[in-house]
């Protein structure tokens, strides 16, 4: 693509940003659509997120993604915040509006779309969610919003699981999240579940770590979805498969959070063919 006087800029603000795969997603889509735009990483120093957002608005940046550690800190710097992002308390995508940006959380919609394309349902499902940190809290909201029947939120520290459950149940106006201590998985109902792994346990380079290492747990899992995509196959995924379940990593979540951001910035709909092409490009980084 030729960079010229009409080229628009998108990018990622965070710290660190050097290892991001988002440029692969957006620059591949721009090429396929013939859009004259580039996507670049912008490292932002601690304490300067407000300046970064104001500067991006002044420069008429077409759109931004936001990553660690600014997904929460960016919120007071925005003109508007989408309702799901506001309840989760985390924004990963900024879309220009009059005088600034509106914040969205495409991580969760991305997870949802990734699950849909794999044929994994949330509505009316019985779900186990591992962890009660920021990522799992957002997944708990997603499951509540998308109509899960029950979500058993298993965490090492029960109190944290209780706090997340109270908050999400209150927002959902129904009992949907049921907190449990990890060690008590034996008292889960006697049936099979979709299990979503929402902690950073098992992330490279600690690839042999796993939150639960007990066959009896994995016998209760028909489908395991790990939010981690590096390593390609986590120990959680291996254990799910060894015990007869299907297992998925988080790369499609990464793919679709990017696709949804691209759609918001450019007012287009990305086809399944284009999504597949981008996915193949992303996969090249894991062989």
Among the candidate windows 100-108, 120-128, 150-158, 173-181, which touches ligand ATR by CB under 6 A?
A: 150-158
Q: Which residue has the closest beta carbon to ligand ATR?
A: 133
- Which helix (H) or strand (E) segment is 26 a member of? helix 22-33
Q: What is the rounded CA–CA span in Å between residue 10 and residue 147? A: 34
Per CB under 6 A, does 27 bind ligand ATR? no
Count of all residues that appear for the chain in the document: 287
Instruction: Provide the minimum distance between the beta carbon of 130 and ligand ATR in the complex, in angstroms, as a whole number.
Output: 8
Q: What is the DSSP letter of 77?
A: G
Alpha helices (runs of H) in 177-230, residue ranges in sequence order: 215-218
- 127 three-class SS: strand
Distance of CA 77 to the CA centre of its chain: 22
Q: Which structure tokens are listed for 286? A: 């894991």
Among residues 125, 134, 163, 243, the one that binds ligand ATR under rule CB under 6 A? 134
Instruction: Provide the minimum distance between the beta carbon of 213 and ligand ATR in the complex, in angstroms, as a whole number.
Output: 10
Among residues 27, 92, 106, 155, the one that binds ligand ATR under rule CB under 6 A? 155
Residues in contact with ligand ATR, shown as a per-residue x/- string from 163 to 202 under the rule CB under 6 A: ------------------------------------xxx-
Catalytic option among 71, 102, 146, 252: 71
Q: Tell me if residue 102 is catalytic.
A: no
Torsion, CA 232, CA 238, CA 239, CA 244, rounded to 10: 120
Per CB under 6 A, does 9 bind ligand ATR? no
Among the candidate windows 16-24, 26-34, 125-133, 235-243, which touches ligand ATR by CB under 6 A?
A: 125-133
Q: Which is nearer to ligand ATR, 9 or 200 (CB)?
A: 200
Per CB under 6 A, does 132 bind ligand ATR? yes
Residue with token string 């109902």: 189
Q: What is the rounded CA–CA span in Å between residue 132 and residue 52? A: 30
Q: Which structure tokens are listed for 268? A: 């287009």
- Could you give the residue numbers annotated as active site? 71
Binding footprint of ligand ATR on the chain (CB under 6 A)? 131-136, 155-157, 160, 199-201, 211
């Amino acid at each position: 693509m030729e960079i010229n006087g009409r080229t628009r800029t998108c990018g990622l603000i965070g710290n660190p940003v050097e290892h991001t795969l988002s440029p692969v997603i957006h620059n591949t889509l721009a090429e396929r659509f013939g859009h004259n735009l580039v996507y670049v990483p912008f490292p932002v120093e601690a304490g300067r997120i407000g300046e970064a957002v104001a500067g991006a608005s002044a420069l008429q940046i077409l759109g931004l993604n936001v990553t660690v550690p600014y997904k929460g800190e960016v919120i007071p710097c925005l003109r508007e915040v989408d309702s799901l992002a506001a309840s989760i308390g985390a924004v990963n995508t900024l879309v220009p509006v009059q005088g600034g940006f509106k914040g969205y959380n495409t991580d969760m919609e991305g997870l949802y779309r990734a699950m849909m394309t794999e044929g994994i349902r949330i509505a009316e499902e019985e779900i186990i969610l591992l962890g009660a940190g920021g990522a799992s809290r957002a997944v708990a909201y997603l499951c509540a919003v998308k109509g899960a029947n029950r979500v058993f939120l298993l965490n090492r520290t029960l109190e944290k699981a209780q706090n997340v459950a109270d908050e999400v149940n209150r927002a959902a106006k129904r009992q949907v999240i049921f907190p449990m201590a990890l060690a008590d998985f034996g008292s889960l109902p006697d049936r099979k579940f979709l299990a979503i792994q929402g902690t950073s346990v098992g992330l490279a380079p600690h690839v042999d770590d796993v939150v639960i290492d007990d066959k009896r747990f994995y016998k209760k899992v028909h489908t395991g979805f790990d939010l981690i995509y590096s390593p390609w196959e986590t120990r959680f995924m291996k254990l799910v498969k060894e015990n007869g379940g299907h297992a998925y990593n988080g790369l499609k979540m990464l793919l679709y959070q990017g696709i949804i951001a691209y759609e918001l910035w450019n007012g287009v709909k990305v086809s399944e063919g284009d999504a597949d092409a981008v996915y193949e490009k992303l996969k090249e980084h894991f062989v």
